[in-house]
Structure 1
Amino acid sequence: MIIAATDRTRAPYACHPSQSRGRRYPQPDSAMRNAFQRDRDRIIHSAAFRRLKEKTQVFVAHEGDQYRTRLTHSLEVSQIARTLARALHGDEDLAEALALAHDLGHPPFGHEGERVLAQKMKDFGGFDHNAQTLRVITKLEVRYPEFDGLNLTWETLEGVVKHNGPLLTAGQGEAELPWAFTDYDGWRELEFATHAGLEAQIAALADDIAYNNHDIDDGLRSGLLEMDPLLDLPLVGEIFARVRTRWPDKPQAIIVHEAVRELIGVMVEDVLTETRRRLDLAKPDDAQALRELDHPVVAFSEPMLMHLAALRRHLFAHMYKHYKVNRMMSQARRVTSDLFDLYLGDPGVLPSDVQAGMTGAGTAQTARGVCDYIAGMTDRFAVEEHRRLFTVQGYF
């Protein structure tokens, strides 16, 4: 029997839109979309989501239009998350919303940009891209007349901040939380000491599946990786060898696509098998019982974790630390650092609307405004801004 989209079967431990804990600013229900569908749509229509199209995944966005950016990565994560949520009888719309939102707080130039901002902000509350995502969706997106932010449901906010698991573990206090989390008025309501719901855990594993596989694809496409050394890796090598044997006359691009496609399928099946095993053991009665378990339920098996560790070691050695990537990242660090120092020391060079609320050069409030401004930039805008501000002939 075909089940209509409005009649999806959700497990008792899934999040149900009709049982959502609601929004910080109450709004009437929509006649056409449930609460999680509205969250997804607000994320898609946000300026921060559009800017992901020119933010680095591994390669600086303008290096080539064939490589993944944060936007295309987020779309791939959402596709995998929906597949997992459907198979596990979770809420597909919430899983998709969380997948689409998970990188909204990333600054330009990927993790290199984040490292620079974290260092620059160490005396002003720090910087963390997950915390910045919460800041984006609760404060920095100014689109609605009644409130700042996107006014998303509690479940979506919780899933965003716990993308990497609980934020407080035994023995940790609130002072150890990133500043941007505690700056949110309702932060205690997000229950930082518990795991996230099923759909957020799904989005986190979908993220791992997506980036591990598309980094192989982009690495081979760029020439930073070679196929033959991949054949020595467990699982990855087996699948690439099998595909090459099956299609010996096909060009490498097709071999790579087919092998990556199979790898994604194997990883998805592994997550489903391991997650079902954990659910059968834990038997959570509802979504809150699942959150309060002392371990995540959505997970890779131990053998798959070993395969992924071997793959990550290979990618770090041969791709992420490749001298060509290092050169790009060196430039990215310089651009980010130069812009921050200039803006903090001379905020008068910032656009008037960005200056609003700043309290003078070198202050914590100005530093946070500068950090927000830089974190919202695309790679291309940051490079062009650096050229405008540090190349004299641009104005003379």
Structure 2
Amino acid sequence: MIDYKKRLTTFRQMNEIDIIDYSIESDRGRILSSAALRRLQKRTQVFALELNASIRSRLTHSIEVAQNARFIAKTILAKLKDEGLDKYGLEELENAFISTAEMTSLLHDIGNPPFGHFAEQTINKWMSKNALPIFEEFEALKDENKKLKEMLSFDLCNYDGNAQALRVIMKLQRMNLSYTQIISVLKYTRGAYEEKPKKDSNLSYVMKKPGFYYSEKDSILKIQEKLGIKAGHRFPITYIMEAADDISYLTADLEDSHEKGILSLKKIYRLITEECKKQEEEYLLKIVEEEYTKAQAGEKPYQFNMFFTIMRARLVGSLVRHVAEVYIQNHEKVFEGSFNSALLEYDEQSKYYKAIKVLQTISTKYIYQNKDVQTLELQSYKIINSLFDNYKPLLELKTEDFLALLEDKKIDCFISMRLIKRISSKQIVAYENDINALDKEDKEAFKILEWYHRVRLIIDYISGMTDDYALEEYKVLSALNK
């Protein structure tokens, strides 16, 4: 039975607010005033270390996604009103439904590292090559500790911006958001310590990537239990956020590539029309041809804006109505969180799906594989690797030495004594809270888990940097090695 009163609640870890609308507004205020959200203005969307403010950053992208999500949520509610919102427990919850979708979308990239998704791969490769050999030296004589060590090794090599977002929200920023708002950010429902399910699994799509780390496992399970969400299942509004994100990508990267001088309007038009004909796609082709003809008749400096503004508006409007329809047609599975597809990808025969594939193909071929974009990725690879190399001494310390370091005690490693001072106190507090919650009776397990949380501390620090701060820290620490 669909009853949104069970999902849109006022539950939160501390200082619960009894009235749902006040709880929702509190979440909005905490998110909009968050330092983690502000940092997104200095994080890469596609083009790293970009000085041109008109090119999208993670923040401006997130704002666009939030608007799309708001539009989708309102469209869904408008369609459901025909049957009566009370049928779904949505009476007096319209504001909560819309705001949760909007704020989830603002938060969806809050865990992304500097320099974009390429940095995620870089972090995981560094962990596998440099951190795991250190971890192998830790003693694990008990069978349960051998299993724990194996699980944590897998977890540490599965850094993902989606999973990091939950750490930022719950532990690093300690935003104390409602359980509803937190769980809506959980885009993928598999723990980073778990194996990827087989393709024929009922939840293969929603579990295809890591959604949370071992360090947040207990908190996620607690929230799911409180809201009646089965393990491995999604929160319904998360599907809206995902669709809003997918829609925002469609023309955004093409617009930015034009602004960067990578693709001209004429070339973009040619690429789209050629790809449409190649894939036998007619819906997008018609829109593009109509809007390009109109733009050509306009004033030259504004031709590009005319073309993209109207084309984007037509596409977004149609796609929003489409995903709202898919949401409602599959309402029970979506509400349950077992709908095993993205809303935009569900109907592969639809004209909208085919249009999306055309635009995705062009972006992949002519933007993401552009020489300048890939050069920036190579530079970011060097920066991220160097930063982790510089902080590696902290991971090589024995448990006793690292704990002494946090108490301002002198240890033999003078480099570590200086490195620890550069890490944010908020991140250190998050580490200490995790350590203080551990069972210290099993010394073997304690050392394994302490080191795991210590690695998380270093990852938190480096992945939380903005692009320009990471570059500056790289320059500073590289100078020490010369």
Shorter-chain-normalised TM-score: which range?
0.7 to 0.9
Distance in 1 (CA, whole Å) between partners of 2:476 and 2:31 is: 31
1:334 to 355, 365, 382: 382
CA gap of 1:179–1:81, structure 2 versus 1, over 3 A, is: closer
In the alignment, does 2:246 pair up with 1:208?
yes
Mapping 1:143-162, distance limit 5 Å:
149-161=174-186
Distance in 2 (CA, whole Å) between partners of 1:252 and 1:241 is: 18
Equivalent residue for 2:58? 70
TM-score, structure 1 as length reference: 0.81
CA gap of 1:380–1:55, structure 2 versus 1, over 3 A, is: same
Letter in 2 for 1:128: D
In the alignment, does 2:302 pair up with 1:254?
yes
Equivalent residue for 2:406? none
Q: What per-residue deviation string (whole Å, max 9, x for no partner) do you get for residues 20-67 of structure 1?
A: 161122423469x53223222211111110100000000114342220
CA gap of 1:295–1:184, structure 2 versus 1, over 3 A, is: closer
List alignment gaps of at least 5 residues for structure 2.
Answer: 78-93, 133-152, 225-229, 277-282, 394-414, 436-446
Distance in 1 (CA, whole Å) between partners of 2:331 and 2:476 is: 59
In the alignment, does 2:114 pair up with 1:108?
yes
Q: What per-residue deviation string (whole Å, max 9, x for no partner) do you get for residues 282-308 of structure 1?
A: 453xxx872244445843543322222
Distance in 2 (CA, whole Å) between partners of 1:352 and 1:393 is: 17
Mapping 1:263-274, distance limit 5 Å:
263-274=312-323
Letter in 1 for 2:365: A
In the alignment, does 2:44 pair up with 1:56?
yes
In the alignment, does 2:457 pair up with 1:378?
no
Aligned residues of 2:163 and 2:210 also touching (Cα < 8 A): no
4+ residue runs of structure 1 moved beyond 6 angstroms?
A: 165-168, 171-174
Aligned residues of 2:65 and 2:248 also touching (Cα < 8 A): yes
Offset, 1:216:
1.1
Three-state SS of the structure 2 residue aligned to 1:62 is coil
Number of residue pairs aligned between Structure 1 and Structure 2: 367
Letter in 2 for 1:160: V
Letter in 2 for 1:65: A
1:193 to 232, 235, 239: 232
TM-score, structure 2 as length reference: 0.68
Equivalent residue for 1:230? 272
Distance in 1 (CA, whole Å) between partners of 2:334 and 2:363 is: 37
Three-state SS of the structure 2 residue aligned to 1:160 is coil
Equivalent residue for 2:255? 217
Distance in 1 (CA, whole Å) between partners of 2:3 and 2:299 is: 44
**Identity value in percent:** 24
Equivalent residue for 1:36? 24
Distance in 1 (CA, whole Å) between partners of 2:50 and 2:342 is: 39
1:119 to 108, 114, 125: 125
In the alignment, does 2:455 pair up with 1:367?
yes
Mapping 1:298-309, distance limit 5 Å:
298-299=343-344, 301-302=347-348, 303-309=351-357
CA gap of 1:312–1:245, structure 2 versus 1, over 3 A, is: same
Offset, 1:71:
0.3
RMSD: 3.4
CA gap of 1:230–1:165, structure 2 versus 1, over 3 A, is: farther
Equivalent residue for 2:171? 139
Letter in 1 for 2:122: V
Larger radius of gyration: 2
Distance in 2 (CA, whole Å) between partners of 1:83 and 1:179 is: 28
CA gap of 1:13–1:159, structure 2 versus 1, over 3 A, is: same
Offset, 1:270:
3.0
CA gap of 1:71–1:253, structure 2 versus 1, over 3 A, is: farther
Moved more, 216-225 or 49-58: 216-225
Letter in 2 for 1:330: L
Letter in 1 for 2:220: W
Moved more, 261-270 or 351-360: 351-360
Distance in 1 (CA, whole Å) between partners of 2:3 and 2:424 is: 41
In the alignment, does 2:171 pair up with 1:129?
no
Mapping 1:10-29, distance limit 5 Å:
15=4, 19-20=8-9, 22-29=11-18
CA gap of 1:116–1:129, structure 2 versus 1, over 3 A, is: same
Offset, 1:368:
1.7
Aligned residues of 1:335 and 1:382 also touching (Cα < 8 A): yes
Q: What per-residue deviation string (whole Å, max 9, x for no partner) do you get for residues 296-331 of structure 1?
A: 584354332222222212111111111111111110
Three-state SS of the structure 2 residue aligned to 1:72 is helix
